[in-house]
Every structure is written in C-alpha cells, then in structure tokens.
Structure 1
Amino acid sequence: MVSSVAVIGTGRMGSMLLQASHRFSPGRFQLFASGRQSTLDPLKDAIADLRTGSAGEIAAACDLIILAVQPANYLALVAKIAPALKPGAVLVSITNGIPLEAIAERSRAPLVKAVPNVAHAVGRGISLVMSGPRADTTHVGNVVDFISPFSKPVVIPARDARPATNITSCGPALLSLFATALVQANAKKTNGVGHDVLLSLMNETLGATAAMIDAGIGLEQIMRDAATGGGMTQAALEALSLGLPELADAAVEQTFARERLLNASSMKPTRQGGDE
C-alpha cells in the first residue's frame, strides 16, 4: 500500500499533481517534492506538510516516485536515483517522449506510465495508466489509487498511448484553440459586442456542452439537436466538414512525428540529472 509519493520536477505538471493530491485527498499521502527553489517555494506555501529534498533523497524515502522532469533529463535522472530506491518502490513515467524500455534499462524498479492532464487541477479529466516493465496489477493499482481522487483513471495498453493521449491530454488545448478561433471569427462581425463578451459566451457554451455530455447526451445528438435543417448551424457544420477532418488528421500525424523525434533523441540528454 502506498503511503508516500515523491514528485521529481516541479514544473507545471509536477506542481499540478502535488496541488491536486493535496486539494482532493488531503493528508492521505505524505507528499515529497524535488525541483527548483523558485517552484518549490510556492508549493511549500500551499502545502504545509510538503517535504522537500534532492531527487535522490526523496526517491529513497517514497513508495511511488513520479518523474515529472523534461524528457531530455529522464534517463540521467533514473540512472541517478535507481540505486537509492527502496524495495517495492514504483517508478511512474508521465511522458510519451521516452520509451518505457529505455527507462527500464536504467532501473530494476517496476515501471508504470501515467498520462495526466491540466483538468486534474479542478478534479476532472482522464488520467491514462499503462503497465510497464516489471509492473503487475498491484503496481498499476497503486498508481490508480493515488490519482483517482482528482481524475478518472483509465487503464489502457501502452501501445495505444499516443492516440489516447491526443484525446485526453492534448484535447483540452485543441478544443480551446478551436473555441478561440471561433470567438475571433465572430469578433470580426460584431457591431459593438466586445471580444471579452464573446469569450464569456464561449466559456458558458463549453460548460453547458460538458453538462449535456455528463447528462448522457452524446456528441452526435448534440449536433443533431442544435442544427435545424436548412438553418445557420447546419450551414456552419457543412462548411467545417469540408476541411476539419483533414485538419484533425494533420494534427494527429504531427503528434506521432514529434513523439518519434523525441524518442529518437532520448539517448542524448541536454542536461545531466536535472530535477525539472
């Protein structure tokens, strides 16, 4: 059973995981962090019982060690902390940029991949979980136990990490980009309503759409219900259908290409053993 969790790297994602755990499961886990002082100080202000130290120190003390550093620093960090890990400790990778096999070559600890996303800050969103080398159902369950208070964990095969991540982790950014573009396109047509008003309308519309989905209304039904035959919504949907599928395909292909590039360069760290 996991009682202590170390997060090595306190950039955006590492800090978010610590704050989400503290907010949605206060006191359930002893939290440890290692990172730059400039990011540790705000965390210590927000989490009174947060323990800090070097990467090796906190890794040696914890049951679950989450690697939240930049991909270029992953392998050097794992090699550095591996000798300090206590028996039964589980390593958790949160990046698709480094193959699990490359991490496993540098540590004998069970390895699990988890792909969080920014929605966990408000206790929402899917967290993908994948079993890696030397991990069994207990190790996967320990990771699920940590993240479940602030996310909905979904266990998938590691081979499907990229397409699933495009939906769960990239999705909030991609949907926000489209929403922003729609606001900007309409801002060009207004006769007095400002951009801020349109943005507030969009924010409420996104929230209302999410509420409909939570109520069991599917995406296809939302489109059918909102579009009157021969109306303006139908015209807009028809215009988007001419080019949007190709744009989506192109975006997905770019994520696969970037992941291949990161994996290919994973053996060439730019900084040795950095903590962020």
Structure 2
Amino acid sequence: MNVGFIGTGSMGSLLIGAFITSGALKPSQIAASNRTIAKVESLAIQYPGLRVKSTNVEAALGRDIVFLCIKPHEFHSVLADIRDSLRQEQLVVSITSPVMLAQLEDWLPCKAAKVIPSITNHVGSGATLCMYGSRVKDTDRERLEQLLRHISEPIRIDEQYTRIVSDLSSCGPAFFAFFVQRFVEAAVEETGISHEDALAVASAMLLGTGRLLTEGGMTPEQIQERVAVPGGITAKALELLNLDCDGMFNRLIRTTHAKYKEDANKVATSLYGEEVNGQ
C-alpha cells in the first residue's frame, strides 16, 4: 500500500508516527507534503525512508490512499491543486470535520471518505470515526479500516453526527485532561502534595476508570454508586459537582456545535461562493 499525506501538522504527523510505530506502514510507503517543507523533512529524519514531496500533487500522485490533514480554509486551494492528478480508483480521506463528503465528491474525481482521529491513537487506543462517500466500495472500507485498526478502533458513523461524536472522541481527551489538570492543581494548592505525585495518582485513576467502563463493563452510574457510600465523603463531593456542573456540558456542546457551523459555512463559501452557502 502506498499512502500520501497532505499536511503534516499536529494530527498529520501524529497519524504518520502512529502508523509507522504500530507496524501498519513502513516509512517508505508514505509520501508527504506540507506548506512548510521543513516539517516533512524533520519527519523524514525521524522516520528514515519517508518520502518528502515538495508539492501536494507529488504527495497524491499514484497513492492508494491520500490523507488530507489540513485546516478548513486550506481546502479550496488544495482540492483545486490536486483534482486533475487524481484517478477514479484512489481514495481521498479528509480528517477535517466541517468538510462534507458531498463537497469532496463535487470537487474530486475519485472516492472520498472522512475520518476523525484522536490524540489517543498515538498510543494505539481510542476510536477513529469513519464516514464514506457514495463511490466508496466495501473493499475500500475494509482496506482503510484495516489500516486504522493498527492504531484505534474504527467506528462507522452517520455524517450528520460528525460534531457530537467528535466532541466525545476527538475533543474529549482535551476536556478530561482539563479536569485532571484542575483536580491536580487544587490538590497541590490545598494540601501541599507534590504536583508529580498528584498527577501520577490522578493519571492512574483515569486509566483505571476507562478500563472499568470498557473491559469492566460498568456504566458511569454504576461506578458512582459503587464508590459513593450514602452519606459518605464521595457522595458529599458528588452533590457539589452536580450543583456546579449543572448544564455545563450542554453549554460545552452548544459551543462546539456553533464553532463547527461557523467553520462549515466558511468551507462552503470558499468552495462554492456566498450564494450556495446561503441555501
């Protein structure tokens, strides 16, 4: 398999590294381009054999799968750049949630898919959310998901739920890392425990809780019931959390959805013009 990457920023470089370290791909099977060529050259030093390409067309030309790891505002120029060099049998995979599959199919002559990776893929964990365009065949789905299984659990979703599942899978690690950070900082401030010790304990706790929810087959409600003895310390603290967090996650979801809608409108305007965006 020959794979191309257009964009080697935070997530593009993470995916490249995860595929290589997991054994899914050899560096020689990957060709990559980036606006800042030094970023690709740095990856090639880290992973000898990775092919550095100076243009997007070179990164996409003849590849079985082409990953587009670029920002929403870059899609117009990148799609216009590569469209004439792509063949019908190639699969282009966007990792950018506000770009619609229908838009990719409008602009490109090949098959189109969209995946939403997660930073957890860096350690071969978490989910990768998969969505497919109308030209994609079962064999294409299996080929892509077989690749993704090396670093994650591929989960097929309906595109209409892109944002909310992205909140849970892709944004979620940052949200829960925020809570761990604030929990640890409060522990240090209130008791004088070292930051290193508090972070080690909290990190192990979070890992164990995740295993209870997956391997242990427990629900969030069951974990709370098992830990919180009526009238006990945990129960008292959960009362406070219920009070302080009331509506917080609803507001969080409304915020991410509003930003997603804003970005999606900008992409549509960029690709089709203001009059189409308004429909």
Q: Provide the TM-score with structure 2 as the length reference.
A: 0.90
1:73-92 matches, within 5 Å, as 73-92=74-93
Q: Residues 64 and 90 of structure 2 are in contact (CA less than 8 Å); yes or no, is this contact kept in structure 1?
A: yes
Instruction: Give the superposition deviation at 1:79.
Output: 1.7
Higher helix share: 2
User: In 2 relative to 1, CA 114–73 (structure 1 residues): closer, same or farther, beyond 3 Å?
Assistant: same
Note the residue ranges of structure 2 that are not aligned, 5 or more in a row. Answer: 272-279
Q: Residues 65 and 92 of structure 1 are in contact (CA less than 8 Å); yes or no, is this contact kept in structure 2?
A: yes
SS in 2 for 1:127: strand
Q: Residues 129 and 156 of structure 2 are in contact (CA less than 8 Å); yes or no, is this contact kept in structure 1?
A: yes
Find the counterpart in structure 1 of residue 3 from structure 2. 5
Q: Deviations over 1:143-180 (max 9, x none)?
A: 21221111100011111111111110011011111111
SS in 1 for 2:8: coil
Counterpart Cα distance in 2 of 1:139 and 1:131: 9
1:130-209 matches, within 5 Å, as 130-190=131-191, 192-209=192-209
Find the counterpart in structure 1 of residue 234 from structure 2. 233
SS in 2 for 1:202: helix
1:234 partner letter:
A
Moved over 4 A (4+): 26-29
Find the counterpart in structure 1 of residue 47 from structure 2. 47
SS in 1 for 2:231: coil
SS in 1 for 2:247: helix
SS in 2 for 1:169: helix
SS in 2 for 1:25: coil
2:102 partner letter:
E
Counterpart Cα distance in 1 of 2:266 and 2:84: 25
1:120 partner letter:
N
Note the residue ranges of structure 1 that are not aligned, 5 or more in a row. Answer: 270-276
Identity among equivalent positions (%) equals: 27
Residue 18 of structure 1 pairs with residue 16 of structure 2: yes
SS in 1 for 2:92: strand
Q: Residues 88 and 111 of structure 2 are in contact (CA less than 8 Å); yes or no, is this contact kept in structure 1?
A: no
Q: Residues 5 and 67 of structure 2 are in contact (CA less than 8 Å); yes or no, is this contact kept in structure 1?
A: yes
Find the counterpart in structure 2 of residue 30 from structure 1. 29
Q: Deviations over 1:192-230 (max 9, x none)?
A: 322332222211211222233333333222211111111
2:46 partner letter:
A
Deviating more after overlay: 34-43 vs 88-97? 34-43
Find the counterpart in structure 2 of residue 261 from structure 1. 262
CA RMSD of aligned residues (A): 1.7
2:225 partner letter:
R
Counterpart Cα distance in 1 of 2:58 and 2:122: 27
User: In 2 relative to 1, CA 61–55 (structure 1 residues): closer, same or farther, beyond 3 Å?
Assistant: same
1:172 partner letter:
P
Q: Deviations over 1:44-99 (max 9, x none)?
A: 12222211212101211201010001111012201210110133001101111222
1:18 partner letter:
I
Deviating more after overlay: 246-255 vs 143-152? 143-152
Counterpart Cα distance in 2 of 1:224 and 1:142: 43
Q: Deviations over 1:30-52 (max 9, x none)?
A: 11111122311221122222112
SS in 2 for 1:66: strand
SS in 2 for 1:170: helix
Deviating more after overlay: 91-100 vs 58-67? 91-100
Q: Provide the TM-score with structure 1 as the length reference.
A: 0.91
- The count of residues paired between Structure 1 and Structure 2 equals 266
Instruction: Give the superposition deviation at 1:27.
Output: 4.4
Counterpart Cα distance in 2 of 1:246 and 1:106: 41
